[in-house]
Structure 1
Amino acid sequence: MPPSAPSEPPAPEPSPEPAPSSQPPAKKSAGRNLRAAIGVGLGLGVIIIASLFIVKAVFVGVVVAAVLVGVWELTSRLAERKGIRAPLVPIAAGGAAMVIAGYASGAVGAWVAMALTALAILVWRMAQPPENYLRDVTAGVFAAFYVPFLATFVVMMLAADDGPRRVLVFLLLTVISDTGAYAVGWRFGKHKLAPRISPGKTREGLLGAISFAMVAGALLMQYVIDDGRWWQGLLLGLAAATSATLGDLGESMIKRDLGIKDMGTLLPGHGGIMDRLDSLLPTAPVVWLLLVVFVGSG
């Protein structure tokens, strides 16, 4: 009887088709509590606008308060993450003096107060051991320049006869620039602007910031600032959007070096005060200078 042929192995059963997912594709996320961010933003806006148009001195007080909190946040993060002990007391006292001097005496008063603050930082730090003296005082002078000195340009705008309107233009341009960057970048952003510094920023977002700010600048200069012209507003918007973006990137660079996401937790949905001042601080001297060039110091 002939040997039986070897049987063929059974064919593998076809694997079942994967069931289609019932979950919708994930949507882009802003990365923050948007409802809290909007609520806090509106609340801050009401406080700022009310103080700006009721009594100028009240708005100066708001700026001083923001500067003091910002300096505290910055020096606290430097101490926690890097062990840098920038002297808080002379920075805070000098910062408040800078803002008040800038409002009362203009640029000369602000520079004198800045110089005296730097001297106070050098002297204050002498009460501690000499180790890391140069590092600590350098960080202290940087903090004094970065937060209160740049903030003096806001109150220098306020000191003009039409000061509240100048400050309003400055604030609106910065906010509109940030909004344009967020809206366009979130919807159309594909090409990273500076991935090593801020991965969320895109070139499309930068174009959105510039476009929104230039249109807003043209309207604001034409209808809000006395003797302003629409073409001046185009230049003002371009400069404001550029400085706001650079300021945002600058603070992102600091936070990356420190290894933190936010400078603080005071403002739900926003982080800390410094996380709101990042684009405002470097934009203030730019807007102040261009308004002086275009329509005078008032």
Structure 2
Amino acid sequence: MNDSSWGAPAGSGYWGPDQGPAPAGPAYDGLTAAQTRPMPIVPDDPAGDHQDDHDRGAAAQSGPLFRDETPNEHPQEPMPTPSRPAEAPQPPQKKSAGRDLGAAIGVGVGLGAVIIASLFIWKATFVGVIAVAVVVGLWELTSRLQERKGVRAPLVPLAVGGAAMVVAGYVRGAEGAWVAMALTALAVLVWRMTEPPEGYLKDVTAGVFAAFYVPFLATFVALMLTADDGPQRVLMFLVLTVVSDTGAYAIGWRFGKHKLAPRISPGKTREGLLGAVTFAMAAGALCMQFLIEDGSWWQGLVLGFAVAASATLGDLGESMIKRDLGIKDMGTLLPGHGGIMDRLDSLLPTAPVVWLLLVIFVGTS
């Protein structure tokens, strides 16, 4: 998820430390004085370089030689300064989430409706939804890599191989997913050979990374779907991840003070992480007890804790990528959210964790 969802309000150092006013000091005051103080006017002295004592006394009685000096013997009354109207106190600024909240809620509700409908009407339709999300995510990632770093990871073999990877995982299980991953990596190596050799190593390395990061991790969602209660497992996976992020946002935005990883994502706080763990564990206990057959509430507590940890690491991982690229969002496809990759950041690394724990707790069927 996005950095702003963890609680530190906008203006509190999201992109870097606040720049305060220039401090007063000798260099600053000297410059100001040089610009505002008039130069002394020294009258010519035809009689010589020095005045006698009488002339000095007369000069002292008649007034100072410099316009900004006042003799100690005859102090002058200070000039009255015009009174300034008292400035009205500024009202305290409200915290801001840094996003268009209305658009974000609307897009989130729309995506949720599509996911629920595809999950419970026909499971194969949801496999298509995963494949589309993977292809769009790969397009966003490779586009940003080329724009910001000049890395040309080949999109065509990645998109075709990524979609095939998801379908293979649903049809042939984990073995099919691994085979599709290997073939996709090979296709990336061969496809890049059609271009000049300069930058070949970094391009294919980025391509293999993208193949693993987006479609391979997403394949574990398709693996969850193959079980008899697959829609319930996928729904629980989505609910726990969203609840974890919501808990981090709610607690961090209201109570967040201690930074979690300021060099990676200054908006995330330890209080937000505690909120993510608490909310996810509570939701996990309820989901395992009432959604999953043969599930137990204590298993849900373990699952919720693991989801909060993996979702946080996934969010930090994409934040690291975006900071390296010098961007805030991976795209602009989803108003109020950013791009598809900005929604998948915590889901992708959480999918294999949930799949593995469900296999341990209740099996694959």
Regarding TM over 0.5, the answer is: yes
Deviation at 1:19, TM superposition (A): 1.7
Q: Which amino acid aligns with 1:263?
A: M
Structure 2: tracts of 5 or more residues without a match = 1-57, 62-71
Q: Which residue of 2 aligns with 1:38?
A: 105
In structure 1, the gaps of 5 or more residues are none
Amino acid of the structure 1 residue aligned with 2:258: H
CA distance in 1, matches of 2:188, 2:119: 32
User: Does 1:82 find its partner at 2:149?
Assistant: yes
Alignment correspondent of 1:205: 272
TM-score (norm: length of structure 2): 0.79
| Cα distance in 2, alignment partners of residues 289 and 12 from structure 1 | 82
Partners of 2:100 and 2:222 in 1: CA distance: 31
Identify the residue that residue 170 of structure 1 maps to in structure 2: 237
Give me the whole-angstrom Cα distance separating, in 1, the residues matched to 2:179 and 2:101: 42
TM-score (norm: length of structure 1) = 0.96
Determine helix, strand or coil for the equivalent of 1:199.
strand
Q: 1:249 is matched with which residue?
A: 316
| 1:183 corresponds to 2:250 | yes
C-alpha distance in 1 between matches for 2:74 and 2:105? 73
Q: Take 2:219 and 2:204, find their aligned partners in 1: how far apart are those partners? A: 21
Correspondence for 1:141:
208
Deviation at 1:12, TM superposition (A): 5.5
Q: Equivalent residue for 2:196?
A: 129
Q: Is 1:18 the equivalent of 2:86?
A: yes
The CA distance in 1 between the partners of 2:167 and 2:199, in whole Å, is 32
Kindly provide the amino acid, as one letter, of the partner of residue 39 in structure 1: G
Return the offset for 1:30.
Answer: 0.5
Fraction of identical pairs, as percent: 77
Structure 1 match to 2:75:
8
CA distance in 1, matches of 2:192, 2:245: 38
Structure 2 counterpart SS, 1:26: coil
2:268 alignment partner, SS class: strand
- Higher share of residues assigned helix: 1
Q: CA deviation at 1:8?
A: 3.0
Q: 1:92 aligns with which of 143, 148, 159?
A: 159
User: Are 1:266 and 2:336 matched, yes or no?
Assistant: no
Matched, 1:276 2:310: no
Please state how far the C-alpha of 1:11 moved relative to its aligned partner.
3.6
Residue 232 of structure 1 aligns to a residue whose secondary structure is: helix
Which position in structure 2 is the counterpart of 1:67? 134
Q: 2: CA distance between counterparts of 1:12 and 1:224?
A: 82
Q: Give, in angstroms, the shift of residue 7 of structure 1.
A: 4.4
- Provide, for residues 238-270 of structure 1, a one-character-per-residue CA deviation record: whole Å limited to 9, x for no partner: 000000000000000000000000000000000
Deviation at 1:25, TM superposition (A): 1.2
- 1:219 aligns to what? 286
Partner SS for 1:263: coil
Taking the aligned partners of 2:79 and 2:293, their CA distance within structure 1 comes to 83
Match of 2:358 in 1: 291
User: Over aligned residue pairs, what C-alpha RMSD do you find?
Assistant: 1.4
CA distance in 2, matches of 1:183, 1:204: 10
Between 183-192 and 11-20, the greater mean CA deviation after superposition: 11-20
Structure 1 match to 2:115? 48
How far apart are the structure 2 equivalents of 1:18 and 1:115?
A: 72
